Amino acid sequence: MTEPAEFLWPARVYYEDTDAAGVVYHANYLNFMERARTEWLRALGFEQDRLRREEQCLFVVRSVLVRFLSPARFNDALLITARVVRLGGASIDFLQEVRRDGETLCSAEIKLALLDADSLRPKPIPRPLKALIGAQLS
């Protein structure tokens, strides 16, 4: 079996991303990862606002396990990765990394749930999206 496809999204560290020590504030790594997942979904042809409007579904973060390995600093060019490692009926698990020049600065295991936009109860992933994600896993 081949390794699941890894989505890559470039980002730049802006001054607003840093703390008083001039390094990326810890919570901003999660912002970078969220943006990468949004761009991954967009690359598959799905927009989150359209999924909410047309399918009445929302992706929400269920759990996060983050490992901070080395700091990113102002003006660093980063590469944010997103790789699906498990696809459930109403959930998607990702492994994500923030890299600089090939070095992993931060890694995370992120579990998402798909919820009905009105009831906020779990809802199956729409079939067209699930088929595309499943194809990345095989």
Per-residue pLDDT for the chain (138 aa), expressed as one digit of tens each?
Answer: 456 689 999 999 999 999 999 999 999 999 999 999 999 999 999 999 999 999 999 999 999 999 999 999 999 999 999 999 999 999 999 999 999 999 999 999 999 999 999 999 999 999 999 999 998 887
Structure tokens given for 52: 């909410």
* CATH superfamily, with its number, for domain 6-137: Hotdog Thioesterase (3.10.129.10)
What residue has token string 């998607």?
A: 92
Q: What is the pLDDT of residue 2?
A: 53
Domain boundaries, the chain: 6-137
Q: Which of 14, 10, 12, 38 is nearest to 110 (CA)?
A: 38
Amino acid (1-letter code) at residue 54: E
User: pTM of the full predicted structure?
Assistant: 0.93
Q: Give the 3-state DSSP-derived string for the chain, with helices as H, strands as E and coil as C.
A: CCCCCEEEEEEECCHHHECCCCEECHHHHHHHHHHHHHHHHHHCCCCHHHHHHHHCEEEEEEEEEEEECCCCECCCEEEEEEEEEEECCCEEEEEEEEEECCEEEEEEEEEEEEEECCCCCECCCCHHHHHHHHHHHC
Q: What is the pLDDT of residue 123?
A: 96
Residue 57 near residue 118 (C-beta atoms within 8 A): no
Q: What Rg do the C-alpha atoms of the chain give, in angstroms? A: 16
Residues with a catalytic annotation lie at 19
Structure tokens given for 33: 């990862």
Q: What is the pLDDT of residue 1?
A: 44
